[in-house]
Amino acid sequence: MNIALINATIFTGEEKLENKSILIQNGLIFSITDQSEIPSDYQITDLHGLSIAPGLIDLQIYGSGGKLFGALPDEEGLEQLEKDLLDQGTTGFFATAATNSDEVVIIAIDAAKAYRKKAKGNFLGLHLEGPYLNEKRKGAHPEKYIKKGTLSEIKSWVERAEGEIKMITIAPELQDQELIDYLYSNNIIISAGHSNASYEEALSFLNNPVQAATHLYNAMPPIHHREPGLIPAIFKLKPYTSIVADGVHVSFPMIELAKRELGAKLFLITDAVTESNEGAYQHKFTGNRYTMPDGTLSGSCLTMLKAIENCVEKVNISLDEALRMGSTYPAQLIKDSARGLLKAGYKADIIVFDKNFKHHSTYISGKLN
């Protein structure tokens, strides 16, 4: 079916357009054109002044709707994530498995492979956050599972995953170069996180070949005037850097600072979890945040659209730029040339929302969710 979306403000990821229509054909954006140019065989959907943007992309989320894939991975958890995220306008995500036993990592890998056959289309693969972290910056990750990586172990996981591992968060300062080089050679995004790297150490590995940094400020050494640490190195070399824009994990003035320093390299994640009372991660919801039983701050209760709203309303980032932080920039990091923009030839993955940042509808590959 050929579809035309009309009467909406269009944020393409490159520009903001008014009085234009999006034509969708065979699951792809065919063109953006004047309403008078819509062919007669297109079914018209009038959006009555709503806004359209590229579907959102969340590269770090653990669970939703009571199913915590990040700690208790199974196909049902991935199915729940796909459903809930499509209902929120997120048309691409990395299901994230947090530091855990080797057995649980393997279960997560096997679940991803099995689920791939029936995925709706927004599950893009796995992000392993750990276990190769620095225990000095463990955050909510159980210290008993944190370890130094070995080439033999990571090879076994990557080969077993058959392409499902897309991203891994590690503390690069503790890992052997051969492990880092292996990950890079297998096109796995390497992100520095839960790291206690010095400024000098970080300068040696950022963009060489560590392409990204995980949840800026959180689980990193704070900036110190005599020991600058990881964060100033990130600001200097500007790898793609994720941030949790909820005002809890990171204050809004510090998000403003990060945006000023990193520009188009700063992107949004939710880092979202769901309540759980079993396994290694027993997240408890306490009003506006999740914590571990000992009170340690854990994952967020964000949605991607709420993160965008916060950037606009609390950090004074323009709406079109905040939308790029939620879609265009993460698509660039993962080198996905079919997502992150609304232009001819791209997947018709679209979020529709109103002026109050309320989600209206989602299209994935041109189909209304």
Given pLDDT bands bounded at 50, 70 and 90, which one contains residue 295? confident
Burial profile 330-362: b = 16 or more Cβ within 10 angstroms, e = fewer? bbbbbeeeebbbbeeebbbbbbbbeeebebebb
Do 259 and 275 belong to one domain? yes
For residues 210 and 239, the answer to whether their CB atoms sit within 8 Å is yes
Tokens encoding 145 = 């599972």
Residue 337 to residue 327: CA distance in whole angstroms: 12
What's the length of the chain? 369
What pLDDT digit, counting tens, does each position of 216-264 carry?
999 999 999 999 999 999 999 999 999 999 999 999 999 999 999 999 9
What is the per-residue pLDDT for 334?
98
Q: What's the total number of domains in the chain?
A: 2
Catalytic residues: 271
DSSP 55: P
Tell me how far the alpha carbon of residue 309 is from its chain's centroid. Answer: 16
303, amino acid identity: T
Do 49 and 116 belong to one domain? no
Q: What is the mean pLDDT of the chain?
A: 96
Pairing of strands 350-353, 56-61: unpaired
Q: Is the pTM higher than 0.85?
A: yes
Residue 308 to residue 266: CA distance in whole angstroms: 12
Do 97 and 227 belong to one domain? yes
Given pLDDT bands bounded at 50, 70 and 90, which one contains residue 210? very high
68, amino acid identity: L
Pairing of strands 165-170, 123-129: parallel
What pLDDT digit, counting tens, does each position of 325-345 carry?
999 999 999 999 999 999 999
What is the per-residue pLDDT for 337?
95
Cis peptide before 209 (omega within 30 of 0): yes
Do 112 and 240 belong to one domain? yes
What is the per-residue pLDDT for 1?
84
Do 84 and 195 belong to one domain? yes
Given pLDDT bands bounded at 50, 70 and 90, which one contains residue 298? confident
Do 222 and 172 belong to one domain? yes
Do 149 and 132 belong to one domain? yes
What pLDDT digit, counting tens, does each position of 111-144 carry?
999 999 999 999 999 999 999 999 999 999 999 9
Residue 84 structural domain? 56-333
Do 281 and 151 belong to one domain? yes
Give the CATH number for residue 179.
3.20.20.140
Do 286 and 359 belong to one domain? no
Mean pLDDT of 61-76: 94
Q: Determine the 3-state secondary structure of 45 from DSSP.
A: strand
For residues 91 and 119, the answer to whether their CB atoms sit within 8 Å is no
Do 175 and 118 belong to one domain? yes
Given pLDDT bands bounded at 50, 70 and 90, which one contains residue 276? confident
Given pLDDT bands bounded at 50, 70 and 90, which one contains residue 285? confident
Do 263 and 360 belong to one domain? no
What is the per-residue pLDDT for 277?
78
Q: Determine the 3-state secondary structure of 237 from DSSP.
A: helix
Do 158 and 223 belong to one domain? yes
What is the per-residue pLDDT for 345?
97
Give the CATH number for residue 47.
2.30.40.10
Instruction: Look at residue 278 and tell me whether its pLDDT is greater than 80.
Output: no
